[in-house]
Amino acid sequence: DVKVTQSSRYLVKRTGEKVFLECVQDMDHENMFWYRQDPGLGLRLIYFSYDVKMKEKGDIPEGYSVSREKKERFSLILESASTNQTSMYLCASSFRGPYEQYFGPGTRLTVT
């Protein structure tokens, strides 16, 4: 059974703080993704990675960076959190390509 875990379910941070969101998958998947989910906007891709140390920008990368030092772990970094980054953040993984993505439960981040 594929499992994608995210480090926190809820997180409250202050404006300007550096924020780390971590995601771990246990199925040796090649691809990992970070999305943010906002009402009425669906899921928007922030960054994805198709191999260790490889990353590609998604549709809304501004204000975010990522790190993938190990195959099973993909981190999302908010260098200086802002209130407009308050959102639900979802991590996903897939064996290869965009197909059959497995999602974690999400982290609801509030920036005050």
Closest to 88 in 3D by CA, of 71, 76, 97, 102: 76
Q: Give 109's strand partners.
A: 11, 87
Of the listed pieces 10-18, 62-70, 74-82, 102-110, which binds other proteins according to CB under 8 A? Answer: 102-110
Q: If you count them, how many residues does the chain have?
A: 112
Residue given tokens 């981190």 in the structure block: 75
Convert residues 8-47 into a mask of x (bound to other proteins by CB under 8 A) and - (unbound): -----------------------x-x-x----xxxxxx--
* Residue placing its CB nearer to other proteins in the complex, 31 or 85: 31
Site for other proteins in 52-81 (CB under 8 A): 56, 58-59
Among 26, 33, 39, 37, residue whose Cα is nearest residue 54: 33
**Three-state secondary structure call for residue 85:** helix
List interacting residues with other proteins (CB under 8 A): 4, 31, 33, 35, 40-45, 48, 50, 56, 58-59, 90, 92, 97-106
